[in-house]
Amino acid sequence: MSDKIGRRTELENRPSLADELCDYLRQGCSIKTACEACGLSLTSFFSYMRRGGDADELDPRFAQFAQQITRAKAEGKATLVKCIAKAAQTDWRAASDLLTKIAPLEYSAGRADSKAPIMRADSGVLQELLAREKARLPPDSDTIQTLQLALELVQRENNKVFELVASLDCIDETYFALPTNSS
């Protein structure tokens, strides 16, 4: 326990929280979905992750939390890649899609000449940034518009991947469902 005085975090109130989040992430859920399923706000989640890697505020509980989450996300991605790789043995489209995701500069159409850096974004992260920008005084309308466009693009691309993975027979459908549009 910490010597600090103040309100207890969800990590302290619910010792099983990290394990619950990790279970969802290992199944391929996004951070947003995992947090919603566990009843944890995205703000708290990202605060815990920052505190787990912040040298000024190094707290072993948060460092362990950040390590568990990072490992679970990687395991979830690895599981989904295995499913796509399995499908790629019989369907060239799965192989093509996997190549464009793994090596976009080499295999994506129109990207070979691009010098722009490739950045991956989770829709939950973009939603959190968008919410923060809208709450800022004064909000920057250009930043809001850029974040909204980026979020729409990420959600469209995620839906394509979800549809591909859902079409494979290597995932138990009780753990994987197509997202619903909540816009």
Q: What is the pLDDT of residues 95-130, one digit of tens each?
A: 888 878 777 777 776 544 444 444 556 777 888 888
Q: For residues 66 and 160, what is the distance between their CA atoms, to the nearest angstrom?
A: 29
Instruction: State the pLDDT at residue 94.
Output: 84
Confidence of residue 171 (pLDDT cuts 50, 70, 90): low
At 162, the amino acid letter reads: F
Tell which wins on pLDDT, 97 or 24: 24
Provide mean pLDDT across the span 160-180.
58
Instruction: State the pLDDT at residue 37.
Output: 95
CB 115 within 8 A of CB 122: no
Strongest mean pLDDT among 55-64, 85-94, 162-171: 85-94
Query: Got the DSSP string for the chain?
Result: --S--SPPPHHHH-TTHHHHHHHHHHTT--HHHHHHHHT--HHHHHHHHHHHH-GGG--HHHHHHHHHHHHHHHHHHHHHHHHHHHHHTT-HHHHHHHHHHH-HHHHSTTTTT--SPP----HHHHHHHHHHHHHSSS--HHHHHHHHHHHHHHHHHHHHHHHHHHTSSSS-TTT--PPPP--
Lowest-pLDDT choice from 10-14, 28-32, 64-68, 119-123: 119-123
3-state helix, strand, coil in the chain (%, to 5): 65, 0, 35
Q: pLDDT tens across 34-69, in order?
A: 999 999 999 999 888 888 876 566 678 888 999 999
Confidence of residue 12 (pLDDT cuts 50, 70, 90): confident
Provide mean pLDDT across the span 79-105.
83
Instruction: State the pLDDT at residue 116.
Output: 47
Provide mean pLDDT across the span 161-179.
58
Instruction: State the pLDDT at residue 1.
Output: 45
Tokens of 135: 């709450």
